[in-house]
Amino acid sequence: MAKILIYNNGTDRMETYYKGEQEAMPYNVNRTLTVNEFRGSSKSQILWTDKRTMQSWNNFRALYGAPIFVGFAFKRCWEGGHGILSQHYAGVAFDVGQNLNSQKRDYMRNLARASGYWRYIEPEVDTPRWVHFDDRWIASGYPLTQFRK
């Protein structure tokens, strides 16, 4: 059983859920993202994300039209990641498609860019064996140092 904190962007309030590992994440539709998938390798008892990120997932998953393998999403800052400050620590990023060949990953990456559902998609040179997309906050939020690049 995981405790899941969801920032509801519409109401500006935090919501708390308790879900089993095989249950769908809060706000997920059609069980396309389970708690276990969102957790990835994280050992954390508490997970967090925001409602907007879950809705972006729903929209992108519907557009893609097939199951998406999720290698990693949530991470605590001591659990690794591909940056000193990563959007994975904010619970708004996904590393997916580790099971695809490079052509299919290119297709997913391009679809993610074209969809407009994600704020940032890592270029292939930085993510050769997976696809990273996230719903980072632009004007404010965490972590601001990401925007100094």
Residues that bind Zn ion (CB under 5 A): 95, 132
Alpha carbon separation from 85 to 13, 32, 41, 144, 145 (Å, rounded): 24, 27, 18, 9, 7
Q: In angstroms, what is the minimal distance from the CB of 70 to Zn ion?
A: 11
Cβ proximity to Zn ion, 58 vs 146, nearer residue: 146
Tokens 């995981």 belong to residue? 2
Cβ proximity to Zn ion, 19 vs 132, nearer residue: 132
Cβ proximity to Zn ion, 7 vs 130, nearer residue: 130
Terminal CA-CA length for the chain: 38
Which residue's Cβ has the minimum distance to Zn ion?
132
Amino acid identity, residue 131?
A: V
Q: In angstroms, what is the minimal distance from the CB of 67 to Zn ion?
A: 19
Q: 71: buried, middle or exposed (CB in 10 Å: 19+, 13-18, 0-12)?
A: middle
In this structure, the number of other CB atoms found within 10 A of the CB of residue 67 comes to 9
Q: 82: buried, middle or exposed (CB in 10 Å: 19+, 13-18, 0-12)?
A: middle
Q: In angstroms, what is the minimal distance from the CB of 20 to Zn ion?
A: 25
Cβ proximity to Zn ion, 2 vs 121, nearer residue: 121
Cβ proximity to Zn ion, 95 vs 135, nearer residue: 95
Q: In angstroms, what is the minimal distance from the CB of 13 to Zn ion?
A: 27
Q: In angstroms, what is the minimal distance from the CB of 55 to Zn ion?
A: 19
